[in-house]
Structures are given as structure tokens and as C-alpha cells.
């Protein structure tokens, strides 16, 4: 199963490389970024729950250097992805959605906010001084939309009947029952 996920990651990385796809970052509007591929992927076979939220996966990243971009937001200079866990559901297309959500974490620079707007979207928020990790800033959903479009084009994932479309705001709502 892990091999299949690694293969999907490779296809996405190749496409992004070949087409010079740009991703969003609060540091620069849009920038060409290679997809990180150097971290181990592990499968989660059973559903995890955290504060009544279903968890579709977890991506671990160590970021040590931060830049202050507003008075309450800090952004990592770069992500250092150390590992990823992906929930394997009975529905492969659903698994792909979880996986692409996690992939979006690898390409979106980590942020820390002083004031979190919606704590429900930050199930693993941890305090770091006065700052709290913000796992799902709007740049995350802009990048998720780009990745989902690529996955659709490559026929790695197809939108389900209830999929609301690629607008970042719609993705926030669609995602809200499985986040991490
Ligand atoms: Zn997430």
C-alpha cells in the first residue's frame, strides 16, 4: 500500500517539475516549488479521532527558522518533512483525497499565528510561546486546489458526487470533517 502512495507522490512530483507548477506562500505570491519526496510514508488502517474530528492523516515537519510576516503571523523559511501517516479507507478515491490533503501540507510553508480564527481546523495546534501552529491557513487550501486539479488530470483522483468544487473556501468546508 505504501508503494502505491509513493508512486502517486512520484507522479505528482514529476508533473510539478515538468510543468513548473507554482504554489502559494505568504512570503511570495506564487513560486515554483519542487514537491518534497524524501520522507517515509506510513499507513493508518484504522480511523483515529481527535476532539471528535476524524483524522485522514498526519504530516510531521520540523521548522526551526521563522519569518515574521505580520504582527501576529510567523512563517517557516522552509519545511522539513520528517514523516507522513495516511488513513487507508475502503474507498481508494477517498484515500487519495486524504493523501493529497497531506501532500498539500508538505508544499505549504508552516505558519504560526497569535490569534487562530477557527480552532476546529487546527486539531493538533500546539502552543509555542504566544504562537500556535496554524495547520490550515488559506494558502494551504489554495495549494490543495492546485494539487487536486493535477490529481484529477492525471486520473489519480476523481471528484466525488458531493465535491463542491476547487474554490479554496469550498474546500475548507468539504475538508472540515476530516482534517489534520
Ligand atoms: Zn491537514
pLDDT of residue 60: 92
Q: How many CB atoms lie within 10 A of CB 29?
A: 8
Q: Is pLDDT at 166 greater than 60 in this prediction?
A: yes
Going from the Cα of 106 to the center of ligand 1, the distance in angstroms, rounded, reads: 10
**124 confidence band (pLDDT: 50, 70, 90):** low
Q: Is pLDDT at 131 greater than 70 in this prediction?
A: yes
What would the mean pLDDT of 59-68 be, rounded to a whole number? 90
Going from the Cα of 142 to the center of ligand 1, the distance in angstroms, rounded, reads: 13
pLDDT of residue 180: 47
Residue 85 — φ and ψ, nearest 5°?
-115, 135
**10 confidence band (pLDDT: 50, 70, 90):** very high
Going from the Cα of 64 to the center of ligand 1, the distance in angstroms, rounded, reads: 20
Per-residue pLDDT tens over the stretch 11-60? 999 999 999 999 999 887 778 889 999 999 999 877 666 555 567 889 99
pLDDT of residue 129: 52
Q: Which range is least confidently modeled, 61-70, 105-114, 115-124?
A: 115-124
Provide the whole-model pTM. Answer: 0.87
Going from the Cα of 57 to the center of ligand 1, the distance in angstroms, rounded, reads: 7
Going from the Cα of 136 to the center of ligand 1, the distance in angstroms, rounded, reads: 6
pLDDT of residue 16: 97
Q: Is pLDDT at 146 greater than 60 in this prediction?
A: yes
Contact (Cβ atoms closer than 8 angstroms) between residue 21 and residue 11: no
Q: Is pLDDT at 87 greater than 80 in this prediction?
A: yes
Amino acid at each position: 500500500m505504501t508503494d502505491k502512495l509513493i508512486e502517486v507522490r512520484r507522479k505528482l512530483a514529476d508533473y510539478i517539475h515538468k510543468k513548473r507548477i507554482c504554489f502559494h506562500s505568504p512570503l511570495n505570491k506564487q513560486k515554483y516549488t519542487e514537491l518534497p519526496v524524501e520522507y517515509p510514508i506510513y499507513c493508518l488502517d484504522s480511523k483515529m479521532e481527535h476532539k471528535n474530528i476524524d483524522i485522514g492523516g498526519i504530516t510531521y515537519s520540523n521548522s526551526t527558522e521563522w519569518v515574521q510576516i505580520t504582527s501576529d503571523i510567523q512563517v517557516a523559511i522552509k519545511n522539513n518533512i520528517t514523516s507522513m501517516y495516511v488513513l487507508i479507507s475502503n474507498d481508494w478515491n477517498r484515500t487519495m483525497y486524504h493523501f493529497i490533503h497531506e501532500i498539500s501540507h508538505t508544499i505549504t510553508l508552516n505558519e504560526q499565528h497569535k490569534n487562530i480564527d477557527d480552532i476546529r481546523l487546527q486539531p493538533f495546534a500546539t502552543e509555542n510561546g504566544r504562537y500556535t501552529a496554524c495547520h490550515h491557513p488559506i494558502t494551504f487550501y489554495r495549494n490543495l486546489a492546485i494539487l487536486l486539479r493535477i490529481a484529477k488530470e492525471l486520473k489519480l483522483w476523481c471528484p466525488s458526487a458531493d465535491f463542491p468544487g476547487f474554490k479554496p473556501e469550498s474546500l475548507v468546508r468539504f475538508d472540515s470533517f476530516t482534517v489534520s
